[in-house]
Amino acid sequence: MSLDDDQVLIEKILAGKRSSFEELMKKHNKKIFGYIYRMVRDEDVAIELTQDFFLKLYHILDKYNFEYKFTTWAYRICYNMVIDHVRKNPAHIDSLENENILPKLMESGNYVMEDTFEDLVKEEIREYTWSVVDRIPLKFRELILMRYLQDLKYEEIADISQLPVGTVKNRLFKAKEMLKTELEKDGVLK
């Protein structure tokens, strides 16, 4: 059985090489934190949950089955942690319908100024689109995040969220329809 990059790192970690865990964490930190942050919409909570995720990951790494893709396994752990948190704090998560987190994103240093006006407009549309993603209901948002932020296939999303593939697809279509309607309403998509 040939191992992918993540699996090679896991083998090294299990053999006692600590630096490989650091490498694995660096590789996935951005996607994991991005996903958690957009799900819980609170930086401190996102930091705490991301830390908890990596600590848990390290402690149960020996239970990982090399027959499966690492990301599917890891994202499922992450998904369950976030859902647990969301269930315990429902009011906090789904009560920000009118909040626009764009300024916060711009502060984060990911807001890249492009050279031309056209590029700038594209960039603003992109930023605005993702700020709208943060406002849609959780059951749609989580799928958009898995599909586009974590770059997962429908089957992987279905596996992680324990939903049938058809439901995942339909919810994603519905989510995009909602996003399109919101963006049209805000005059961003013309």
Partner 1 sequence: MACLSEIKIQKYIEGGLAAVERSLVRDHLIVCAKCRASYQRYEKLEKSLGEPVYITPPPIIERNVLRMLFPRIPSYSSIFALLAASFLLLITGIYIYFDFANNSIIQAFQLTSHDTSNWIGSIIKAISTVFSTVYAVFKAINAFFEVIFKVNIGVEIIGLCMLLFLSWSFYSLSRLVLKKIKGSN
Q: Binding of partner 1 at residue 61 (CB under 8 A)?
A: no
Query: Which of these ranges, 76-84, 88-96, 123-131, 155-163, lies near partner 1 under the rule CB under 8 A?
Result: 123-131
Rg (CA), the chain: 18
Q: Binding of partner 1 at residue 85 (CB under 8 A)?
A: no
Return the DSSP state at 94.
S
- Crossing angle of helices 18-40 and 43-60, in 10° steps, is 140
Do residues 94 and 135 make contact, with C-beta atoms less than 8 angstroms apart?
Answer: no
| Per-residue tokens: 187 | 């005059």
Do residues 148 and 176 make contact, with C-beta atoms less than 8 angstroms apart?
Answer: no
Q: Across 2-138, where does the E strand assignment appear?
A: none
CB burial of 68-94 (b: ≥16 within 10 Å; e: otherwise) equals ebbbebbbbebbebbeebbeeeeeebe
| Per-residue tokens: 23 | 């490498």
When binding is defined by CB under 8 A, the residue of 7, 34, 42, 138 that contacts partner 1 is 34
When binding is defined by CB under 8 A, the residue of 1, 2, 26, 67 that contacts partner 1 is 26
| Per-residue tokens: 29 | 């930190």
Q: Binding of partner 1 at residue 130 (CB under 8 A)?
A: yes
Q: Which residues inside 137-166 make contact with partner 1, applying CB under 8 A? A: 144, 147-149
When binding is defined by CB under 8 A, the residue of 12, 92, 153, 176 that contacts partner 1 is 176
When binding is defined by CB under 8 A, the residue of 17, 27, 139, 180 that contacts partner 1 is 180
Q: Binding of partner 1 at residue 18 (CB under 8 A)?
A: yes
| Per-residue tokens: 110 | 């990911």
Q: Binding of partner 1 at residue 167 (CB under 8 A)?
A: no
Q: Which residues of this protein are in contact with partner 1, per CB under 8 A?
A: 18, 21-22, 25-26, 29-34, 37-38, 43, 47, 50-51, 54-55, 58, 105, 108-110, 125-127, 129-130, 133, 144, 147-149, 170, 173, 176-177, 179-180, 183-184, 189-190
